[in-house]
Amino acid sequence: MNTYFNEINSKPVNTSDNGAVYKIPAGAMCGNGDLGIVFDNDEKDLIIHVSKCDFWKFTPGADNDGGIKTVGSIRIKNIDLSEYNIKQYFDKGLLKCKFGNAEIEFFVAPENLIYFEIKSAKSNGFLADIEIPDTCNSQNSVVHNNGITCFVRKFEGEEVTVKSGVALCLKEISSGTAEGVKTARYCVSVVTDFDNEEYTEKAFDTALNCDYENDKKKTEDKWESFFSKSKVTLKDKEIEKFYNSSLYHLAGCMGNTEFPPGLFGNFITDDFFPWAGDYHMNYNYEAPYYCIFSANHPELFDGYMTPVNDMSTEAERMAKLFGCRGYAFPVSFGPKALDVYSQADCKEHGILFLGQKSHAAYACVIPIMHWFSTYDKEYALENYYNFILNTAAFWEDYLVKEKGRYVIKGDAAHEIPYYRGERFRYITHFGQVNTINAINSLGLVKLLFNGVYDMAKELGLNSEKYALWEDIIENLSDFPTFIKKGKKCFRYAKFGIRWRNDNTVGLQHIYPASQIGLNSSEKLLKIARNTYFINDRRLDDNGSNSYLPAGARIGVDPDFLIEGIHQNIKEFSLPNRLFRHHGGGIEHLTTIPATINEMLMQSHQGVIKLFPCWKKTEDASFENLRADGAFLVSAELKNGKTTSLKIKSIKGRRCNLDCAVVKSVFKEDKTEVSFERNGNVISFGTEAGATYILI
């Protein structure tokens, strides 16, 4: 069965819940990492929405119309949509459509060209055209040259802080009739002023020199190469299909290193997506990246730090508002430090912190994941060490040491919903405003200092900080607990909010903050499992992407997790393999690959564990999942036994593996490698680039 394939047999339908329209589109889609298309239609025509990660309106202020904007749409007239079939080939990046009177092929090439080919035995006078919206005060124009029509949309003037413009050029490449079948090929080039200052001319030139067959081959090669980097094979083919399609959709919007995806990636279908489509830093921005390292796609991280680092000046200013050095973040912002957080009536300096100080620490989670899974020193120095160091500096000042323990005060576990305006009542939110030791912040801060300490030692930097960091790591307050339903559980905060029945804030110290796992004490694991099962959060539309992987981290029944994945597919999946959730458009694409990867392999506590949360009677295999320490691991579980075990060392670090059945270790050249054993854990030295076969 081809698990890189999906078929859609009905026209997309917008969904709503209690009158609130969910903006996640159901139509077929594809993207190249920057440019994306989404299928739609009206009563007469086929509509292809076009969006790009770097086309924003840079209007500051939380109440203004700034945010990511749609580029426009391709309208193909005279298509009979009474018959509707679209096949998505994820490993080739192709869409093949069959309608009542035509067959159409679509793909988005790496050079930001959209190609489509229309074949029909009926002469219906197909007409392809471009439409661009005139909302949000955009300035639009049309230019014709050499048989190419170019549509320009731009935002500039006093109301914007950074001007932005985009050009779409439509060209009919060829047309002809053979054996009664008319074939017409088109391309649409899409170029922004961030791609090229002379973006209109560049769009013309790109369209003029397009090559359908060559670019189709490049597109197919790109996606075949992408999926060759790792592989998961399961008996449950439905989950395997969603595993692959989720990675495809994530990669489809994670390719512009200057403009990583916001809440809704590059499937923007109008100018009014919720929350301006911005970067929400209290989990939403980070969540899509949870799975990329274990899936061996660290290249998808390359744009993550750009908007984070662009905020450095503002982050320093905001830290000073709390009397601290270093960096602090608001709840959200846009690219190029776009201000979508200023609100005059907000109780905290007119900025939307929403009572939380943990946003910058949360932003550190993903680069710390990158660090432990790659140990790429040069990359860390160039991209994120300074940010992590400055975020640690904020917490060095913000933490309060009482009776030998470091305490976090005034940092809400959850957003304080009305921390602004006349509706806010201090007494109502007294506990949240005066929170002590929010559990998610404790986990994030512990990860932060473990990460910066390890980086600094490896890089040979900031040794003057080591003693302080060691003290914070050793003496940060314990995770708060209380008795609920007769069992000892984690409490959301030592003082403040005790519990909520939605979201997964109370478990995020387990995942993604990685502070509890199967090597933790049985006492801690018992508390974690008690907490986990107080409520079934598998269908939480703000938290399933951390709830399910957290279950694997603490070793809950794998059947419970697999059932939860199927429930998410049944309840929330759309025909195009996106998920309709409230919290954002792309964050839940991480749910299935992150959970499956953690069930098949774990390494966050310094020891690689194979199939740690997998049903031993269920055959499965994986190739080149990435483990902490910069190892690529391949293994198979067959008839309850682990076989075909290979480990490639990227950086030549020492490998620790929990696998009782290993008797011998060999390099690929059959040289035997000595190892040490401590119970079920073996440990051996490695060479960078070498692959080891374990028998």
pLDDT tens-digit readout, 281-291: 999 999 999 99
d(CA 390, CA 443): 18
Q: What is the dihedral of CA 228, 229, 234, 238, to 10 degrees?
A: -70
The better pLDDT of the pair 459, 13 is held by 459
DSSP β-ladder status, 641-649 and 631-638: antiparallel
Residue 489 near residue 531, CB atoms below 8 Å: yes
The number of beta carbons lying within 10 Å of the beta carbon of residue 690 is 16
- Domains of the chain from N-terminus onward: 5-231 (2.70.98.50), 278-297+317-483 (1.50.10.10), 500-600 (no CATH), 620-694 (2.60.40.1180)
Of 18-22, 83-87, 516-520, 666-670, give the lowest mean pLDDT range.
Answer: 18-22
Asked if pLDDT for residue 122 goes beyond 90, the answer is no
How many angstroms separate the CA atoms of 308 and 361, rounded? Answer: 11
462: left (phi over 0), alpha (psi -120 to 50) or beta: left
Banded model confidence at residue 397, pLDDT cuts 50, 70, 90: very high
Written as six digits, the tokens of 149 are 């029509």
| Bridge partners (DSSP) listed for residue 637 | 620, 642
| C-beta neighbour count of 680 within 10 angstroms | 13
Q: Report the pLDDT averaged over residues 256-277.
A: 95
Percent of the chain with pLDDT over 70: 98
Separation of alpha carbons 154 and 159, rounded Å: 13
| CB 190 within 8 Å of CB 35 | yes
- Choice among 139-148, 176-185, 336-345, 581-590 with the minimum mean pLDDT: 581-590
Whether residue 668 is predicted with pLDDT greater than 60 in this model: the reply is: yes
Calculate the CA dihedral of residues 676, 682, 683, 685 and round it to 10 degrees.
Answer: 90
With left for phi above 0 and alpha for psi between -120 and 50, is residue 568 left, alpha or beta? alpha
Q: What is the structure's pLDDT at 17?
A: 56
Q: What are the two backbone dihedrals, phi and then psi, of residue 662, each rounded to the nearest 5 degrees?
A: -70, 125
- pTM for the structure as a whole: 0.97
CA distances, 150 to each of 118, 125, 153, 523, 526 (Å): 21, 22, 10, 65, 63
Q: pLDDT tens digits, residue range 458-491?
A: 999 999 999 999 999 999 999 999 999 999 999 9
Q: At what angle do helices 237-251 and 558-572 cross, to 10 degrees?
A: 60
For 37, the enclosing helix (H) or strand (E) is strand 35-41
Which pLDDT does position 14 carry in this prediction? 67
CA 273 vs CA 66, 162, 388, 610: distances in Å: 11, 20, 31, 41
Task: Report the C-alpha gap between 395 and 425 in whole angstroms.
Answer: 28
Q: Which pLDDT belongs to residue 145?
A: 86
In DSSP notation, 64-123 reads: SS-EE---EEEEEES--TTSEEEEEETTTTEEEEEESS-EEEEEEETTTEEEEEEEESS-
Lowest mean pLDDT segment, chosen from 117-126, 164-173, 562-571: 117-126
Mean pLDDT across 611-638: 98
Mean pLDDT of the chain: 95
The Cβ of residue 300 has, within 10 Å, a number of other Cβ atoms equal to 22
Which run of H or E residues covers position 487?
A: strand 487-490
Bigger pLDDT: 152 or 343? 152
Per-residue pLDDT, 21: 55
| Cα–Cα distance for residue pair 277/399, rounded to 1 Å | 33
Tens-digit pLDDT profile for residues 130-159: 999 999 999 999 999 888 999 999 999 999
At 15 the pLDDT is 63
Answer yes or no: are the C-beta atoms of 475 and 442 closer than 8 Å: no
User: pLDDT band at residue 557, thresholds of 50, 70 and 90?
Assistant: very high
Calpha distance 315→312 (Å, rounded): 5
The reported pLDDT for the residue numbered 134 is 93
If you average pLDDT over residues 531-541, what whole number do you get?
92
- Tens of pLDDT, residue by residue over 291-327, are 999 999 999 999 999 999 999 999 999 999 999 999 9
